[in-house]
Amino acid sequence: MRFFRWIGPQWIWQGKDINAVYLTFDDGPHPLATPIVLDFLAKHQLKACFFCLGENVQAHPDIYARIIREGHVVGNHTFGHESAFCSSPNSYLSSINKAGKEIESRYFRPPYGRITPLHARKIMKQKYTIVMWTWMSHDFSASMTLRKLQRRCDDIKGGDILVFHDNNKTASKIEAYLTAAVQIIQRKQLNFRTFEMP
């Protein structure tokens, strides 16, 4: 991913505050996982950025409304989780714009982190800021365990943008993963931040 860093300033690769980490959640809103995540964040008084899929916002408008109501930031994650490697720049952009009708945000995160310079240029022309990440939980992986996640968390450092998922694959385990991750982050004496609502 470093290869693409030259493209321009309209990318966020890392959080500005080096004493904090930035929690982000991809793929929601999901009827089971997202309420669990929102309850967790409320309990710990944390704010996060949710990169939503347009189709999921259409399917679960009430959960999307709750994300906004509780003061979290949202971003666009395409309409149907298209990969930039499998769709032309134009059809990719129309997926983003379709999602943009549901999600009021200038932040965009490409599904799978896949993007090409051509796709990126078109997205930035639409005034989106592309948000990548520095630390991936792999919470969706069938082979992930609590122990493995805890070990991954040891690598977390200030300024990291952390990715978790609120989707079908994580619904049953996201609460345990978040509990462990937040504990480790607090032990490192890092704060939690999120992006400004653009």
* Site residues for Zn ion per CB under 5 A: 26-27, 111
Gap between the Cα atoms of 135 and 14, Å rounded: 10
Strands 20-26 and 73-76: unpaired
Closest approach, Cβ 182 to Zn ion, in A, equals 22
26 among known catalytic residues: yes
DSSP one-letter string for 131-180 = E--SEE--TT-TT--HHHHHHHHTT--TTPEEEEE-STTTTTTHHHHHHH
The answer to whether residues 48 and 193 touch, using CB atoms and an 8 Å cutoff, is: no
Minimum CB distance to Zn ion, residue 22 (Å): 17
In the complex, least distance from residue 162 CB atom to Zn ion, rounded to whole angstroms: 14
Q: How far is the CB of 191 from Zn ion (least distance, A)?
A: 26
165 is catalytic: yes
Candidates 26, 139, 160, 166; catalytic one: 26
Q: Considering the candidates 30, 160, 165, 166, report the single residue annotated as catalytic.
A: 165
What b-and-e string marks burial along 11-48, b requiring 16 or more CB atoms within 10 Å of the CB? bbeebeeeebbbbbbbbbbbeebbbbbbebbeeeebbb
What is the C-alpha to C-alpha distance for residues 40 and 24, in angstroms, rounded to an integer? 14
Residues involved in catalysis: 26, 165
